[in-house]
Structure 1
Amino acid sequence: MLDQVTKVHDENRQGEAYAPEAADIQTYTKKFYIESYGCQMNFNDSEIVASILKEEGFGPTRNVEEASLVLLNTCSIREKAETTVRKRLTEFQKVKQRNPELLVGVLGCMAERLKAKLLEEEKLVDMVVGPDAYRTLPALIEEAETGQKAVNVLLSREETYDDISPVRLDSNGVTAFVSIMRGCNNMCSFCVVPFTRGRERSRDYRSILQEATDLFQRGYREVTLLGQNVDSYYWVNPVNDAETVTFANLMEKVAQISPLLRVRFSTSHPKDITDEVLHVMAKYENICNYIHLPVQSGSNRILQLMNRTYTREWYMKKVDRIREILPDCGISTDVITGFCTETEEDHQDTMEVMAYSRYDLAYMFFYSERPGTLAARRYQDDVPDDVKKRRLAEVVELHRGQSLASMQQDVGKTFKVLVEGTSKRSEDHLFGRTGHNKVIVFPKENYKKCDYVWVKVDSCTSGTLIGTATGMA
């Protein structure tokens, strides 16, 4: 499907090993090591897995050599992620030669599609577990310990893990992701998610509120409501179907937990985000003015082939509506270049929509066919790689100018910033984000993590605001 990401963000991290929260460190008889790839849903799933394993007496470790269980939570969205996972599994086989009792498992989106290859042909793993089968991990571990290959990749129409409190792995103690739904009903032709994560189902809103409230009481100051398409969240009480909760209702309920709890969400589908959602965002100061609104292409013909169910004109009117109700709202997007049959005219249509939308942030890729998708079955991947990459370079160049202009517009302004930690480049500086999701760095002085601080922007780069604190917010 997608390859060559050109901007990396929390929502699209590449492999990351987890460690326990400081408050959760204790002596465990067994330890697990886990790496996660791809979207933030995978990272959130790893926290659910950690909670399940904790109940079985497993504790997390960063040191693969002391682990009795190694897990890779995988992504099938991009070819590069699959290649990286295969390389890591080969490396873990060397660790297993030193520790024959070590169990190696693959979780997540690669599980269903590659289970036979990973288990039988390449013999790289002992377990393969799909996104809806994490509750069966204890039984699968027992099975694998006997020397059997353990597999469960069954998809579910009900599983939301709403009764499991995730273990916050490698947490900064300030921000956390809260999953509100699973699966996806949008059959975008380039995307494998509906086949690897199943149909859409919404989590009980009461468990979401409980999780968010617990996070706030533990000192967290920001939650991101997470789903493949959050705007289609729709919970119906199984006992009383007259009680329903939409995404706008849910977001308002989370915002009402406390004005000190910031609320974000990801990801929106352009066809589903409603005026009701925008008006709730405008009503609550603690709901951040930032929307990720993937466009994918600016060509109506390509959008139809992608099965995106909107036109370029409709998309641009949605951007207009966002800016009408939320004038200073930050907007980010996803763009694919070189989709099947894309012409230069189609490419220019994409450039025009990008120029019109003036994105603050963009995740830009060139298309690579993913097995199992509708596009792989229906269309020929016929745009040469050099053309894909050249078009991607043009998209990136356009966005760089937009990103810098967006940053420059903030110079001289003052923003309320939630401090997330110490700057990576200087121990004397802190960093946080504005409500528009822009990173800002400023001198530490007497401020600390979790503080809300007013920061005046003095200068900027294309990716970071640089400022000076003017007082507590």
Structure 2
Amino acid sequence: MFRRNPRLLASISKLSSDLMCSHDVARSPMQSTTKFGIAMGNKGPGLSDFIKDLPRTRKDKIFPAISDTHAYISRAQLNGDGKKVLLVTFGCQMNVNDMEVVRGLLIQNGYIETKEEAEADAILLMTCSIRDGAEEKIWKRLKHLKRNQRRPRTVAVLGCMAERVKSTLLSTPGDLCQVVAGPDSYRDLPRLLALSQSGTKAMNVQLSFEETYADVTPVRVDTHTKTAFVSIMRGCDNMCTYCIVPFTRGRERSRPIDSILDEVKRLRDEGVKQITLLGQNVNSYRDSSSSSISFGVDSRMVDGFSTVYGQKSGGRSFATLLDHVSRVDDSMRIRFTSPHPKDFPNQVIELIKERKNICNQIHLPAQSGDDSVLDAMGRGYTRESYLTLVDNIKNAIPNVSLTSDFIAGFCGETEEAHQNTLSLMREVDYSFCFVFPYSMREGTRAHRKLVDDVPENVKMRRHEELASVFREISLRRNVSRLGKRELVLIEGRSKRGEKSMSGRTDGGIVVHIEEKEKKMETGDYVVVKITGGTSQTMSGEY
């Protein structure tokens, strides 16, 4: 029981009376009152009266509001009506695929793509926010566009940076851009562009629990290429402490398997010879849509791995999707990226071993080889459990090509921890690694809870050492293939000259091939004798 405080009650009563007087509230005998004397009739002050002058910290995610827009933007204005747009993509392959979605939506709404900056009515930048350097490139490009502007046009920032920076992009001095659109708002681009052309700045950075663009046909920039990326899911639930992706791309959403298969079959009919299944966390794919007629066996998380969310169940798993996709055309190569090591049960590994058209290349991001750093990163595994998974994969697929990601200089990383990462790289024997110095991103769990305490010069040194060890390993691996024959899918002309073509092996290594008597065409499978190798590529003859 609480003890009544007469003095407190008297103070509250006086405050209530003062408030009522200040609002000229007259109580009639018909009005009921509380025990503190505040009128309950409809003429009394409401909550809005007391908070109307308080500062509001929550910012709008969509403005102008879609409902308000109907009053001054006609349906005809939403059509591009032949206006020219320049599309510029920065960052990862997911951004390339997103721009293919944007291209499809804009063409459908009457816009025409141009390659010339000077004739563009609108310039759309698809952005990356994974590191500070990626965002700095965008700011430089925005300033360049402003300096070189010769006539009125709209500049729009799309994607991850738009989602992270939001209205700051619109309020920055210099009027650098007029439209901001996050990864889940591309369908709203016709409205946003129409608003900007009427002189109104506009933004939509509302994240979605459902948007997968499953019904949008992506339009590729090179229609002659024989390789394509197929988006299967969006967002990420892993919440690694260093990563901004869950905040810029939202929660995981899987595209219905029927929609994916329809796109794969369309690409097959167009002559595409290789597809890469694409997403932030592809092997946690799980289709629970109503269109899923049959259900596969749940994929169990790999022993020794954990997540911040509960185990997902029901629907059709990544193994089921991979099974269906690989059956579309056994002459079409299948790759996938980017996965998380926790989602590699034997079911997936055995499928890769069994199907000849699923490439024996597996991207297995480690990020670090030290247990304390892995724990600080929130990765959900130890060095030992990661290496156990690697052994399981190598035992099942002896000729597998493993690739990985590593971060140098994460919060709290000691010199010993760095050496542990170098030793992991050598032990696993990767064919390729992406290595980056750590960049603290505002809004991540690391930003809220950890200290970025590794000096910048130390980060750079460790980054160079990681890259050096990777190059040492990959050079040895590539040189060891000298004199052997590899099946290569030709992807196009090599940068080495007009008489040279390039393609990739099953393991994903680029091979430059000099044409002699026999001519090669993009999309051909050719058996190549390896004649040379560097840390990045191999050379061969056909």
- Structure 1-normalised TM-score? 0.91
1:190-216 Cα distance to aligned partner (Å, 9 max, x none):
000000000001000111111111111
Do residues 220 (structure 1) and 272 (structure 2) align? yes
Do residues 138 (structure 1) and 209 (structure 2) align? no
Contact (CA 8 Å) 1:172, 1:420: kept in 2 or not? no
Q: Which runs of 5+ in 2 are unaligned?
A: 1-79, 296-314
User: Within 5 A, what are the aligned runs for 1:321-470?
Assistant: 321-444=392-515, 445-469=518-542
1:301-328 Cα distance to aligned partner (Å, 9 max, x none):
1101100000000111111111111111
1:42-73 Cα distance to aligned partner (Å, 9 max, x none):
11000000000001111211111111110011
2 CA distance for matches of 1:443 and 1:271?
41
Do the aligned partners of residues 155 and 168 (structure 1) sit closer, same or farther apart at CA in structure 2, a change above 3 Å counting?
Answer: same
Tell me the residue number matched to 2:108: 55
Tell me the residue number matched to 2:136: 83
Matched letter for residue 175 of structure 1: T
Matched letter for residue 366 of structure 2: V
Q: Which runs of 5+ in 1 are unaligned?
A: 1-26
2 CA distance for matches of 1:186 and 1:59?
38
3-state secondary structure, aligned to 2:486: strand
The Cα of 1:240 is off from its aligned counterpart by 6.5
Tell me the residue number matched to 1:8: none
The Cα of 1:280 is off from its aligned counterpart by 1.0
Do the aligned partners of residues 171 and 77 (structure 1) sit closer, same or farther apart at CA in structure 2, a change above 3 Å counting?
Answer: farther
Tell me the residue number matched to 1:115: 166
Do the aligned partners of residues 59 and 412 (structure 1) sit closer, same or farther apart at CA in structure 2, a change above 3 Å counting?
Answer: same
Contact (CA 8 Å) 1:236, 1:242: kept in 2 or not? no
Do residues 103 (structure 1) and 174 (structure 2) align? no
1:213-242 Cα distance to aligned partner (Å, 9 max, x none):
111111111100001111100101326786
User: Within 5 A, what are the aligned runs for 1:232-381?
Assistant: 232-238=284-290, 243=295, 244-381=315-452
The Cα of 1:282 is off from its aligned counterpart by 1.1
Q: Could you say which structure has the larger radius of gyration? A: 2
Tell me the residue number matched to 2:85: 32
1 CA distance for matches of 2:352 and 2:199?
53
Match of 1:69 among 116, 122, 125: 122
Contact (CA 8 Å) 2:257, 2:292: kept in 1 or not? no
Do residues 43 (structure 1) and 43 (structure 2) align? no
3-state secondary structure, aligned to 1:38: coil
Tell me the residue number matched to 2:232: 180
Matched letter for residue 188 of structure 1: C
Number of equivalenced pairs: 441
Do residues 195 (structure 1) and 247 (structure 2) align? yes
Matched letter for residue 151 of structure 1: M
1 CA distance for matches of 2:520 and 2:228?
21
1 CA distance for matches of 2:294 and 2:503?
42
1:159-181 Cα distance to aligned partner (Å, 9 max, x none):
00000010001355111100000
Matched letter for residue 369 of structure 2: G
1 CA distance for matches of 2:467 and 2:220?
34
Tell me the residue number matched to 2:199: 147
Contact (CA 8 Å) 1:172, 1:421: kept in 2 or not? no
- Structure 2-normalised TM-score? 0.79
1:330-352 Cα distance to aligned partner (Å, 9 max, x none):
11111111111111111111111
Q: Which moved more, 1:138-147 or 1:231-240?
A: 231-240
Matched letter for residue 353 of structure 2: A
1:328-375 Cα distance to aligned partner (Å, 9 max, x none):
111111111111111111111111111111110011111121111110
Q: Which moved more, 1:46-55 or 1:450-459?
A: 450-459
Do residues 124 (structure 1) and 176 (structure 2) align? yes
Tell me the residue number matched to 2:56: none
Matched letter for residue 55 of structure 1: Q
2 CA distance for matches of 1:67 and 1:273?
46
- Structure with the bigger RCO (C-alpha within 8 Å, sep 6+) is 1
- Select the structure that is richer in strand: 1
Matched letter for residue 98 of structure 2: D
Contact (CA 8 Å) 2:405, 2:433: kept in 1 or not? yes
2 CA distance for matches of 1:355 and 1:393?
15
2 CA distance for matches of 1:359 and 1:276?
23
The Cα of 1:271 is off from its aligned counterpart by 1.1
